[in-house]
Amino acid sequence: MSGILLKGGRVIDPARGLDGVADVLIRDGMIAEVGADLSAHGSEPVDAAGFVVAPGFVDMHCHLREPGHEYKETIATGTRAAALGGFTAVAPMANTEPVNDNAAVTAFILDRARREGAARVLPVGAVTKGLLGRELTQMGELKAAGCVALSDDGHAVSTARMMRLALQYASQFGLLVIDHCEEPTLTQGGAMNEGVLSTILGLAGIPGAAEEIIVARDIALAASLGLRVHLTHLSTAGSVALVREAKARGVRVTADTCPHYVAATEALIGDYDTNAKVNPPLRGEADRAAVIAGLVDGTLDCIATDHAPHHADEKNVEFDLAANGISGFESAFTLCHTALVASDAMTLPALIEKMSLAPARVLGTRLGTLTPGAAADIVVLDPGASSVIDPDTFCSKGKNSPFRGFAGKGRVVHTLLGGRFVVRDGALAV
Ligand SMILES: [Zn+2]
């Protein structure tokens, strides 16, 4: 068999405004043709009737933990988890050990990904050496090594002055700076969203202002320099309002949020469930509604998972001491589809755009489309299927999900990477 013919699915390709029943012919790892009643010409026919055929998801913010924290995740396990979640390209942040702040680490990650990966890996380099906020990295070296963007994720770029320098230098190399927006003097010691619930639970709170101060700072810098900035995992109504206002006056700002800010609130913490501890913290219902409105009106460009796997020992501790993060690849589509599409807030093509084409474009890659000639990175979805999230079945080493038992709509059926099945009928094929 020289290729694959996906027959009779509802093909959604936001790049071309395509939404209709069609066949997709894959040859030599690329999309050869999309159209009605294509003939197989010796390729393997695969029935996709009743399913949705879309560009593979692109995750612009995740943590694969290798090198250095292989007990939490590896590039092999993380990209398999990604594939099961429908992702064909993922951008791991630089907070590995050693930090991805030089070409040798980037080369290591890309080499591992080539040999063991089940998804494309698009490394994000550090903005400052060691993520310490004192000295900029060699950005040209990181770009040449294969980094697609820069971020000090884990925390915000240390100071306004450092952020300004970073935006200026990164622009020389055509690199996007992605900022994690949290003012450290306001997050210090905090374990959850600041509000009535944190008072009831007796936990130190993190105010929404911690995020909004950095959002405002970065917008002001991008506006004054006329340069791009990307603000990641936004969680508050105030942040959405700031980005909306900035975009309206032409500031070159893009932004993303995560499935957990769309599908859940701080109520998920319940009886001190440390799996619901994440940075920024889960917020209240008004924030959740504002984040959804921001996705719907285009203020928030894309959805990123912030997949952050941890070992059980790092979560089986007191809430204050628990690590921050949610293992997110394998629940992302079900959570977003349930909270956004099944709830009628957004159409399925709009959600697919937020999870594939939009992040691909923000990162400056040519991924996220089924245009003939593009890499055959494809996800096949069953939007009508009932799906119950069970972290015990995750391929990720991180079983740290607060969504255990979440019953939603929509599941990933197949994932193809470069024209080959990496997930088939919901199971790994590699
Ligand atoms: Zn972050």
Identify the CATH number of the domain in which residue 232 sits: 3.20.20.140
Asked, for residue 381, whether it belongs to a domain, the answer is: yes
What DSSP element (H or E) covers 223? helix 208-225
Which residue do the tokens 């619901």 mark? 276
Q: Do 49 and 164 belong to one domain?
A: no
Task: Give the distance (Å) from ligand 1 centre to CA of residue 155.
Answer: 6
How far is Cα 398 from Cα 79, in angstroms, rounded to an integer? 13
Q: Do 173 and 218 belong to one domain?
A: yes
Asked, for residue 371, whether it belongs to a domain, the answer is: no
Q: Among 312, 334, 362, give the residue marking a domain's end.
A: 362
Q: How many domains does the chain have?
A: 2
Strands (E), 302-406: 302-303, 378-388
Asked, for residue 188, whether it belongs to a domain, the answer is: yes
Task: Give the distance (Å) from ligand 1 centre to CA of residue 96.
Answer: 13
Q: Do 28 and 126 belong to one domain?
A: no
Q: Do 421 and 292 belong to one domain?
A: no
Task: Give the distance (Å) from ligand 1 centre to CA of residue 309.
Answer: 13
Please tell me the predicted confidence (pLDDT) of residue 376. 98
How far is Cα 329 from Cα 341, in angstroms, rounded to an integer? 18
Q: In terms of Cα–Cα distance, which of 115, 90, 74, 225 is closest to 163?
A: 225
Asked, for residue 25, whether it belongs to a domain, the answer is: yes
How far is Cα 224 from Cα 66, in angstroms, rounded to an integer? 37
Task: Give the distance (Å) from ligand 1 centre to CA of residue 181.
Answer: 8
C-alpha distances (whole Å) from 387 to each of 258, 325, 408, 412 are 19, 22, 5, 10
How far is Cα 398 from Cα 394, in angstroms, rounded to an integer? 8
Q: Do 60 and 48 belong to one domain?
A: no
Q: Do 179 and 316 belong to one domain?
A: yes
How far is Cα 23 from Cα 26, in angstroms, rounded to an integer? 10
Please tell me the predicted confidence (pLDDT) of residue 2. 74
Query: Which candidate in 59, 306, 313, 392 is catalytic?
Result: 306
Q: Among 331, 362, 393, give the residue marking a domain's end.
A: 362
Please tell me the predicted confidence (pLDDT) of residue 272. 97
Q: Residue 279 corresponds to which tokens in the numbers above? A: 């940075």
Please tell me the predicted confidence (pLDDT) of residue 70. 97
Q: Do 133 and 205 belong to one domain?
A: yes
Asked, for residue 368, whether it belongs to a domain, the answer is: no
Task: Give the distance (Å) from ligand 1 centre to CA of residue 251.
Answer: 22
How far is Cα 205 from Cα 213, in angstroms, rounded to an integer? 16
Which CATH number does the domain housing residue 424 bear? 2.30.40.10
Q: Among 362, 395, 419, give the residue marking a domain's end.
A: 362
Q: Do 217 and 306 belong to one domain?
A: yes
Q: Residue 268 corresponds to which tokens in the numbers above? A: 């998920």
Per-residue pLDDT of the chain (430 residues; tens, 9 = 90+): 579 999 999 999 999 999 999 999 999 999 999 999 999 888 999 999 999 999 999 999 999 999 999 999 999 999 999 999 999 999 999 999 999 999 999 999 999 999 999 999 999 999 999 999 999 999 999 999 999 999 999 999 999 999 999 999 999 999 999 999 999 999 999 999 999 999 999 999 999 999 999 999 999 999 999 999 999 999 999 999 999 999 999 999 999 999 999 999 999 999 999 999 999 999 999 999 999 999 999 999 999 999 999 999 999 999 999 999 999 999 999 999 999 999 999 999 999 999 999 999 999 999 999 999 999 999 999 999 999 999 999 999 999 999 999 999 999 999 999 999 999 999 999 9
Asked, for residue 367, whether it belongs to a domain, the answer is: no
Please tell me the predicted confidence (pLDDT) of residue 41. 83
Task: Give the distance (Å) from ligand 1 centre to CA of residue 401.
Answer: 17
Please tell me the predicted confidence (pLDDT) of residue 218. 98
Q: Do 122 and 248 belong to one domain?
A: yes
- Whether 59 is catalytic: no
Please tell me the predicted confidence (pLDDT) of residue 1. 54
Quote the domain boundaries for residue 74.
Answer: 56-362
Asked, for residue 275, whether it belongs to a domain, the answer is: yes
For residue 100, the tally of other CB atoms under 10 A from its CB is 28
Q: Do 155 and 33 belong to one domain?
A: no
Task: Give the distance (Å) from ligand 1 centre to CA of residue 151.
Answer: 9
Q: Do 117 and 169 belong to one domain?
A: yes
Q: Residue 301 corresponds to which tokens in the numbers above? A: 């460009």
Task: Give the distance (Å) from ligand 1 centre to CA of residue 154.
Answer: 5
Task: Give the distance (Å) from ligand 1 centre to CA of residue 118.
Answer: 24
Task: Give the distance (Å) from ligand 1 centre to CA of residue 153.
Answer: 5
The answer to whether 234 and 243 have CB atoms below 8 angstroms apart is: yes
How far is Cα 151 from Cα 149, in angstroms, rounded to an integer? 7
Provide the whole-model pTM: 0.98
Q: Residue 152 corresponds to which tokens in the numbers above? A: 């000090």
The answer to whether 87 and 56 have CB atoms below 8 angstroms apart is: yes
Q: Do 204 and 341 belong to one domain?
A: yes
Asked, for residue 314, whether it belongs to a domain, the answer is: yes
